[in-house]
Chain A
Amino acid sequence: MATDKELSDFLKSIEKRAFKRTAFAVRDDDAALDIVQDSMIRLAEKYIDRPAAELPLLFQRILSNATMDWFRRQKVRSAVVHNFSEFGGSGDDDGDFDILEVLDNLEGTVGTESAADSVSRDQILKLIETEVGELPARQREAFLLRYWEELDVAETASVMGCSEGSVKTHCSRAVHALAKALKAKGLAP
């Protein structure tokens, strides 16, 4: 059973990421804060008897469900369907654009001094945040759960309610889309 301190430390460690992730999805800071608060309370009330190690995955599931509940309550099913639909192959079949080469270059460029020479670091971070926010919802969800929340593929699939193959596809497409967008903004050499 997680102690009060373990629960407090855990919530403190994830609250900002949870807020950002939710704000990306609902595009409304107040709604995102409400959803995060509801999720925290649900975790504290219903799963306090679980070990501390289980809290991260449980919380991600609760947060995803709470976000979906919010969409349902807003009765914007059509928007949800649009946001959460599969986006197939956009940009992946660009014959003149070697996306992996850009990834390779970007990895050594983003956030280093050479990039900071032309654009301020804050602007770069803001640009990255904007581009992540522009990703299709399922791609963004998979990307953030895998690389930001550091869940493995199986855990991400469990939270998203899809197959591991879908998670890999979403992540790959998200990475490619981000790389392409960042290159277009001049963040690649």
Chain B
Amino acid sequence: MTRNTKTTYSLPDRDGLEARFGVRVASMLGERAQSTAPDISERLRFAREQALARAKAARRQEQLATAPVVVGRGRGAVLASPLGWWFKLGSAVPLALLVLGLAGIAHVHDRAQIAAVAEVDAALLSDDLPPDAYTDPGFAEYLKTTRE
């Protein structure tokens, strides 16, 4: 039987018709896909198992990365949590504070020594007796006899 009339469809009808056709063809494709050759099914099963094994390994690795681990042996063994850079940074802060503290103490000590020497120099320079007098052997002898 030949068709002489042409059916007209609105846009939503056309979209719906295409979608229904697509789903129908896809379901038939699915039916066909279920009957794949045994060797292909076997390889797909193997691929799936490989993927699952990798997933388990990835999970284990993630757990190891977050759980505390024992570092060292015997009495020296300690629990360490390898939390990455933040953990290392946290460990470095006290050490840095110690170094800064020591540098500060050295600086204060140096300043005190400089101040003491400056005080002696100032006393010598402001005294009535000229500093050259202390290098004179006669004056030194005078001081010795005076003390006695």
List residues of chain A with CB under 8 Å of any chain B CB: 4, 7-8, 11-12, 15-17, 19-20, 29, 33, 36-37, 40-41, 43-45, 48-49, 98, 100-101, 103-104, 106-107, 110-111, 124-126, 128-129, 132, 143-144, 146-148, 171-172, 174-176, 178-179
Contacts and interface: CB of A to CB of B under 8 A. Distances in A.
Nearest to A46: B58
Given A11-B52, A179-B21, 10 more contacts: A4-B52, A8-B52, A44-B58, A103-B21, A110-B24, A110-B28, A147-B25, A171-B18, A175-B22, A178-B21
A7 B22 CA distance: 28
Nearest to B36: A16
A124 B7 contact: no
Given A16-B36, A44-B52, A171-B22, A129 B29 contact: yes
A52 to B, nearest CB: 12
7 contacts: A37-B51, A44-B54, A44-B55, A44-B58, A100-B14, A124-B28, A148-B29
Contact of A146 (B22, B28, B56): B22
A64 to B, nearest CB: 17
Nearest to B47: A37
Contact of A36 (B7, B24, B47, B52): B47
Interface in B25-49: 25-26, 28-34, 36, 40-41, 43-44, 46-48
Nearest to A20: B33
A19 B46 CA distance: 13
Interface of B: 3, 6-7, 9, 14, 17-26, 28-34, 36, 40-41, 43-44, 46-48, 50-52, 54-56, 58-59, 62
A51 to B, nearest CB: 14
A36 to B, nearest CB: 6
A174 B7 CA distance: 21
B31 A125 contact: yes
A16 B34 contact: yes
B43 A33 contact: yes
B23 to A, nearest CB: 5
A174 B24 CA distance: 13
Contacts of A40: 47-48, 50-51
Contacts of B21: 103, 106-107, 175, 178-179
Given A104-B7, A143-B22, A7 B29 contact: no
A132 B3 CA distance: 27
B20 A107 contact: yes
A98 B55 CA distance: 51
Contacts of A8: 48, 52
